[in-house]
């Protein structure tokens, strides 16, 4: 799929203030610093569409980006970042779970996990939460450029095994990506395109 246009539309913490047209949307969620905003820039090929930072906690709001005037990519704040203020220290911030539960035009959540790390409890918990809530999701492994091919494959296989040994009977669709070298870009865009066509 070719990206012809990508425009920032609105940021807020209030699901009811998100765009009210019924265009389909895809939301990026995961731990702070995992690379959600970078992935949005990589997929759209617009370098500074979404704000990124080396320090966790950069994205604090729900951000809607309109793509090809036809669907949205949604950048969300990270979870699992200890330094967020005490009032938002709930494991998953309320407005984020509200977004997932109330946003009917959300067609798929992408849960991002850093491919270098052991499966993290908080990510597995968030996927469990999505599964229990009946919200479709896929997994995106990020920062693939940081590992050699063998280690990359080993880590992905390990992740799948941990899920299958846990409560998952099958592995959701998953993608291995790098915002640095654009690995996985065509696959993620083709997947979105296919859903949009149906």
- φ and ψ at residue 186, rounded to 5 degrees: -60, -40
Return the closest-CA partner of residue 84 out of 75, 74, 94, 93.
Answer: 93
Q: Cβ of residue 25: shortest distance to ligand GTP, in angstroms?
A: 17
Give whole-number Cα distances, 33 to 21, 50, 54, 102, 125, in Å: 30, 13, 7, 25, 18
User: Binding string to ligand GTP for residues 81 to 110, with x set by CB under 6 A, is what?
Assistant: ------------------------------
Q: Interface with Mg ion includes 38 (CB under 5 A)?
A: no
185 binds, among ligand GTP, Mg ion, none (CB under 5 to 8 A by kind): none
Q: Does residue 35 belong to the site contacting ligand GTP (CB under 6 A)? A: yes
**Residue in 69, 78, 67 with CA at minimum distance from that of residue 28:** 78
Pairing of strands 25-30, 6-12: unpaired
Taking alpha carbons only, the member of 7, 6, 25 closest to residue 100 is: 25
- Report whether 102 contacts 15 (CB < 8 A): yes
Comparison of 97 and 196: residue with beta carbon closer to ligand GTP: 97
Contact between 80 and ligand GTP by CB under 6 A: the answer reads no
Stretch that binds ligand GTP, among 8-16, 62-70, 117-125, 138-146 (CB under 6 A): 138-146
Q: Which residues are near ligand GTP by CB under 6 A?
A: 32-38, 52-54, 56-59, 77-78, 142-143, 145-146, 178-180
Q: Which residues are near Mg ion by CB under 5 A?
A: 36-37, 58-59
């Amino acid at each position: 799929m070719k990206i012809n246009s990508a425009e920032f539309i609105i940021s807020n913490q209030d699901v009811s203030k998100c765009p009210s047209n019924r265009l389909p949307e895809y939301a990026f969620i995961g731990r702070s610093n995992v690379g959600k905003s970078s992935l949005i820039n990589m997929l759209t090929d617009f370098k500074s569409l979404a704000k990124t930072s080396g320090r966790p906690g950069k994205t604090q709001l729900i951000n809607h980006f309109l793509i090809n005037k036809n669907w949205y990519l949604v950048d969300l704040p990270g979870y699992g970042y200890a330094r967020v203020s005490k009032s938002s220290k709930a494991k998953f911030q309320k407005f984020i779970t509200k977004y997932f539960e109330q946003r009917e035009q959300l067609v798929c959540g992408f849960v991002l996990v850093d491919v270098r790390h052991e499966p993290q409890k908080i990510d597995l918990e968030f996927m469990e939460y999505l599964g229990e809530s009946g919200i479709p999701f896929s997994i995106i492994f990020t920062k693939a450029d940081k590992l050699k091919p063998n280690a990359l494959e080993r880590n992905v296989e390990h992740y799948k095994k941990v899920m299958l040994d846990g409560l998952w009977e099958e592995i959701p669709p998953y993608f291995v990506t790098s915002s640095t070298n654009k690995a996985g870009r065509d696959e993620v865009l083709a997947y979105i395109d296919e859903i949009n066509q149906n």
